[in-house]
Amino acid sequence: MNAQTIQIAPVHKTLTVKASQKHAFEVFADCVDAWWPRAHHLGATPPAKIIIEPRLGGRWYAKHEGGEETTNGHVLVWEPPSRVVFSWEISPQWKESPGVGSEVEIRFIAEGSNTTRVELMHHKFEVMGEEGGKSMRAGVEGGWTGILELFKKEAES
């Protein structure tokens, strides 16, 4: 089977954050270093700093305690404060996979002046092939739940 005929269901996550749309977006994109779990990294050493460059084509990357840098992906869509889309350039073996990966789309939907619904969709697992795509999907299904709770805690503090 090739990538055109494989279909792997996207991962969908939704949560409500007690914060304005603008603040929720900024905490997600500009303050990722404050809430992203240090245990989730690609480098040989823990990350010292996690960065999302705030522009189309910008990198989502980590500078590690050992001095190396690893790239999680790149910004494919940058529409503050409502939407951001990243490539997820991580292989099913949890290694850097430049140029090949799934995608993560996050929408920030204002439901009031101080309430934002955050919708995450992680999709396009098919590019990793059937076995790899299913493995990655299984890995991120539960992972995003905990990661988004950390984001919510930071956004509401």
pLDDT of residue 43: 83
At residue 29 the predicted structure's pLDDT band, cuts being 50, 70 and 90, is very high
pLDDT of residue 4: 54
The strands making up 102-112's β-sheet, listed across from edge to edge, are 11-17, 115-123, 102-112, 83-88, 69-79, 59-64, 47-52
Domain 11-156 - what CATH class?
alpha beta
Q: What is the pLDDT of residues 109-128, one digit of tens each?
A: 999 999 999 999 999 999 99
Q: What is the pLDDT of residues 35-55, one digit of tens each?
A: 999 888 888 899 999 999 999
pLDDT of residue 90: 93
Q: What is the pLDDT of residues 74-114, one digit of tens each?
A: 999 999 999 999 999 999 888 999 877 899 999 999 999 99
Query: pTM value?
Result: 0.92
Other C-beta atoms closer than 10 Å to the C-beta of 63 total 16
Inter-axis angle of helices 21-30 and 129-156, nearest 10: 120
pLDDT of residue 119: 98
